[in-house]
């Protein structure tokens, strides 16, 4: 009798017949591979499904084939017979689907990847423990459990330098060649790197590709974030490369649809009724974004709705197939939107994100009580999926969304935030800014009053709120294009004496270190002030800080490392614009640059000691313009 042992399901890949599982033994930190005889399933729509099922088996294309009843899109109200078949290899599955299409059959349930479907069917959730014996069986996953102890690396660019993040800490490199040599000298279980940087590393040192058992090529999120997405969506690490967060979400939704026997087609579009231009302008808008007045505000309470958009979807059962369903016995009609929501069955979207909302709250509580970073990474992973849930609801190729469903959410969010504003004003406060799911209320005398206001807003709106921050003062700078207030940039001193910054130069990835350093030092001076008189002197000190850095730049007494600029891929352009020189002459992103008198140049390849000091002086002056001035203090509102 084979004794079973517990191992981690690290990864999975299709083989010529079945699936090869990468199993991680934590005690000896070893990865072993085990072949598992898991079939791949395919689905076909046919006029005579029973006949097609028999033929697939008779001609030897499928090992098994049968007929099942599934609900058909777009509203999943009617049952339809589908041909379901099993094969032992991915190549055979593709062959059968291709042959079926050629004969006029329609492949359905083609998303998610067949490997994901096979793991889901067997209950094998990647990045969880499994019981390994003669076969591999799933073990129940508890989200409070830790991640496996793996040797991981993460590579990214910061401050104009390449950063290698490993268990021992951070290592910095100026050249890709040195970084590639360092990576290739060690072995890791999992590596995370952007695609652009990965291919540059492999170009320098081909053995980099085998330095990690599993490379995740994508945005430089932490390994724990990718592990959480893998668990949520049954997607093995081998398929996580270049997978968007929206794809993770859609996979979760598609698996929920599988559990109900809702089949999906390549395109599931739901008809939109004709509306006038006035109706489009009224309802087809985004969330609330106020145009705040620039200036300095005192005693400001920031109240956030907890995951407002996903909470609206869950509360009102918003999903593509529930909004304006043609047949429905119990409908929800909302005064602020011209659409009806069916309540007969829970929608795919709310059902899918309900658990993710619960997990996000669980991880917040665990991180707060333990301080373990793994729970914060998992919280972020859930947060990003929830953020994507709204965007994909209105995406034209969304499997489970529609424009009408999108409008229900945006209209509801505007109603909720407006109700929050009225509640604050009824209590004698003034709302100085509102940004999607946050309201900033001034003249709130204390943190306790801020908490009480949060509770009042939650009660009035029936949506959960939290006090995100209580500011001694909050500064909203002017927009760079005109004198109006910037809606997405602000700086505030918290009651604890710490500072919260959003959108300023010091928190942007491509800001040179010298500008970041100067602005952060100036902000530190501002943070020492807690009233109007102290703020006046603090503004003078902050200005002196920036002026000192301007003098340093102008004198040329600089380290090149302070001047480096990070640039990623070029942004998409609506029409062709000639790329900058540094993007034309090879190398590829991410770029490490400096400002020369001939424009931005790559460092160190093109460094010629010809730094354009005026470029950095302008940035420092811009950094100063984002901070309060003496005039702002003198005319500060509600002090």
Domain boundary among 232, 260, 288: 260
* 268 in a structural domain: no
Which whole number is the average pLDDT over 302-312? 96
Give the model's confidence band at 272: pLDDT under 50 very low, under 70 low, under 90 confident, else very high: low
User: What is the three-state SS of 130-169?
Assistant: EEECCCEEECCCCCCCCCCCCCEEEEEEECCEEEEEECCE
Q: What's the pLDDT score for residue 3?
A: 84
Rounded to the nearest integer, the mean pLDDT of the chain is 91
* pLDDT, tens digit, 9 for 90 and up, residues 168-197: 999 999 889 999 999 999 999 999 998 889
The reply to whether 12 and 82 lie within a common domain is no
Flag whether pLDDT at 46 surpasses 70. yes
Q: Is 271 part of a structural domain of the chain? A: no
CB atoms within 10 A of CB 43: 20
For 234-244, what is the mean pLDDT? 94
pLDDT (tens digit per residue) in 572-602: 434 444 445 444 344 555 678 889 888 888 8
CATH number at residue 300: 3.90.1600.10
Dist CA 123 CA 196 (whole Å): 34
Are 215 and 328 within one domain?
A: no
In this structure, the number of other CB atoms found within 10 A of the CB of residue 203 comes to 14
Tell which of 503, 538, 559 closes a domain. 503
Q: Has residue 639 been placed in a domain?
A: no
435-493: per-residue pLDDT in tens? 889 999 999 999 999 999 999 999 999 999 999 999 999 999 998 888 888 889 999 99
Question: Span 552-570, mean pLDDT?
Answer: 81
Q: What is the pLDDT of residue 321?
A: 96
Q: DSSP secondary-structure letter at 478?
A: B
Predicted confidence at residue 558, as pLDDT, reads: 81
Helix (H) or strand (E) holding 602: strand 599-602
Number of domains in the chain: 5
Q: Which two tokens stand for residue 481?
A: 């294009």
For residue 80, what pLDDT is reported? 97
To which H or E segment does residue 95 belong?
helix 90-102
Same domain, 44 and 171: no
Per-residue confidence (pLDDT) for residue 16, from 0 to 100: 86
pLDDT (average), residues 375-404: 91
User: 474 by DSSP, 3-state: which?
Assistant: strand
pLDDT reading at 520 higher than 50: yes
- Binned at pLDDT 50, 70 and 90, residue 284 comes out as low
Residues 335 and 406 in one domain: yes
Whether residue 340 sits in one domain with residue 380: yes
- The pLDDT of residue 286: 58
Instruction: Please indicate whether residue 299 or residue 606 has the higher confidence score (pLDDT).
Output: 299
What is the rounded distance in angstroms from the CA atom of residue 429 to the CA atom of residue 297?
13
133 in the same domain as 191? no
Task: Count the alpha carbons within 13 Å of 303 in the hemisphere toward its beta carbon.
Answer: 29
**Is the model's pLDDT at 20 over the cut of 60?**
yes
Q: What is residue 269's predicted lDDT score, i.e. its pLDDT?
A: 63
Please report whether residue 161 resides in a domain: yes
Question: What is the pLDDT at residue 387?
Answer: 93
pLDDT, mean of residues 142-165: 92
* Among 106, 138, 170, residue at a domain's last position: 138
Place of tokens 């079939």: 39
Give pLDDT tens digits for 315-374.
999 999 999 999 999 999 999 898 999 999 999 999 999 999 999 999 999 999 999 999
pLDDT confidence of residue 187:
96
Looking at residue 441, its pLDDT comes to 97
CA 225 from centroid of its chain's CA atoms? 10
Q: Which domain holds residue 82?
A: 40-122
**Mean pLDDT (whole number) for 382-403:** 88
Query: Does 45 lie in the same domain as 13?
Result: no
Among 37-51, 198-212, 257-271, 300-314, which stretch is predicted with the lowest mean pLDDT?
257-271
Running DSSP on this structure, what letter comes out for residue 637?
B
Same domain, yes or no, for 47 and 23? no
Assess contact for 289 and 43: CB atoms under 8 A: no
Whether residues 385 and 254 fall in one domain = no
391 with 293, same domain?
A: yes
| Residue 383 belongs to a domain | yes
Q: Specify if 355 maps to a domain.
A: yes
Strand order in the sheet with 161-166: 169-173, 161-166, 152-158, 188-193, 212-217
275 has pLDDT over 70: no
Residue 506 has pLDDT above 60, yes or no: yes
Q: What is the CATH number of the domain that holds 47?
A: 3.30.70
- Rounded Cα–Cα distance for residues 15 and 392 (Å): 33
pLDDT > 90? residue 606 = no
**Pair (403, 313) in one structural domain:** yes
Q: Across residues 494-500, what is the average pLDDT? A: 94
Q: Of all residues in the chain, what percent carry a pLDDT higher than 70?
A: 92
Closest CA to 282 of 336, 325, 340, 318: 336
Split at pLDDT 50, 70, 90, the class of 274 is low
Rounded distance between C-alpha atoms, residue 62 and residue 94, angstroms:
12
Query: For residue 257, which of 388, 404, 109 has the smallest C-alpha distance?
Result: 109
Residue 562 domain flag: yes
Same domain, 558 and 595: yes
In a domain, 272, yes or no: no
Cis preceding-peptide flag for 74 (omega within 30 of 0)? yes
């Amino acid at each position: 009798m084979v004794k079973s042992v517990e191992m981690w399901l690290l990864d999975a890949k299709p083989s010529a017949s079945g699936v090869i599982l990468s199993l991680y033994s934590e005690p000896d930190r070893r990865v072993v591979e085990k072949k598992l005889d898991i079939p791949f399933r395919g689905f076909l729509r046919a006029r005579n499904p029973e006949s097609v099922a028999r033929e697939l088996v008779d001609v030897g294309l499928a090992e098994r084939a049968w007929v099942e009843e599934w609900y058909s899109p777009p509203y999943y109200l009617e049952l339809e017979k589908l041909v379901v078949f099993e094969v032992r290899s991915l190549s055979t599955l593709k062959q059968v689907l291709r042959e079926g299409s050629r004969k006029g059959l329609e492949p359905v349930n083609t998303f998610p990847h067949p490997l994901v479907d096979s793991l889901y069917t067997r209950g094998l959730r990647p990045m969880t423990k499994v019981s390994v014996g003669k076969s591999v069986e799933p073990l129940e996953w508890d989200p409070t459990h830790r991640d496996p102890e793996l040797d991981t690396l993460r590579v990214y660019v910061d401050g104009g330098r390449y950063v290698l993040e490993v268990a021992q800490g951070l290592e910095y490199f100026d050249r890709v060649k040195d970084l590639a040599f360092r990576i290739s000298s060690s072995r890791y279980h999992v590596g995370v790197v952007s695609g652009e940087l990965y291919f540059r590393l492999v170009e320098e040192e081909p053995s980099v590709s085998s330095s990690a058992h599993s490379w995740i090529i994508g945005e430089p999120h932490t390994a724990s974030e990718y592990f959480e997405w893998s668990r949520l969506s049954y997607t093995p690490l081998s398929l996580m490369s270049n997978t968007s967060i929206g794809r993770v979400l859609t996979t979760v939704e598609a698996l929920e649809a599988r559990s109900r026997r809702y089949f999906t087609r390549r395109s599931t579009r739901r008809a939109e009724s004709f509306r006038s231009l006035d109706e489009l302008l009224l309802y087809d808008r985004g969330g609330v974004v106020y145009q705040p007045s620039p200036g300095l505000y005192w005693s400001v309470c920031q109240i956030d709705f907890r995951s407002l958009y996903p909470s609206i979807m869950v509360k009102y059962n918003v999903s593509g197939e529930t909004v304006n369903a043609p047949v429905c016995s119990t409908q929800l009609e909302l005064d602020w939107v011209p659409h009806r929501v069916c309540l007969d069955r829970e929608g795919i979207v709310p059902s899918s994100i309900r658990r993710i909302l619960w997990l996000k709250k669980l991880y917040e509580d665990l991180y707060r009580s333990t301080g373990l970073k793994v729970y914060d990474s998992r919280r972020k992973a859930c947060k990003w999926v929830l953020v994507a849930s709204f965007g994909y609801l209105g995406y034209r190729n969304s499997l489970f969304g529609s424009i009408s469903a999108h409008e229900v959410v945006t209209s509801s969010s505007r109603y909720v935030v407006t109700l929050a504003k009225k509640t604050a004003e009824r209590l004698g406060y003034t709302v100085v800014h509102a940004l999607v799911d946050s309201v900033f209320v001034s003249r709130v005398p204390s943190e306790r009053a801020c908490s009480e206001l949060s509770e009042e807003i939650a009660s009035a709106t029936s949506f959960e709120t939290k006090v995100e921050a209580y500011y001694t003062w909050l500064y909203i700078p002017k927009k760079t294009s005109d004198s109006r207030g910037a809606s997405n940039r602000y700086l505030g001193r918290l009651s604890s004496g710490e500072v919260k910054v959003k959108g300023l130069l010091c928190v942007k990835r491509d800001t040179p270190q010298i500008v970041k350093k100067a602005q952060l030092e100036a902000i530190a001076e501002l943070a020492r002030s807690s009233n109007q008189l102290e703020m006046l002197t603090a503004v003078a000190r902050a200005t002196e800080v920036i002026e000192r850095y301007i003098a340093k730049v102008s004198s040329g007494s600089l380290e090149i490392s302070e001047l480096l600029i990070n640039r990623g891929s070029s942004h998409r352009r609506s029409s062709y614009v000639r790329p900058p020189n540094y993007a034309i002459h090879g190398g590829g992103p991410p770029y490490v640059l400096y400002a020369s008198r001939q424009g931005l140049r790559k460092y160190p390849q093109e460094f010629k000691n010809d730094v354009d000091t005026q470029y950095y002086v302008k940035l420092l002056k811009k950094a100063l313009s984002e901070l309060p001035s003496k005039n702002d203090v003198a005319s500060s509102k509600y002090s």
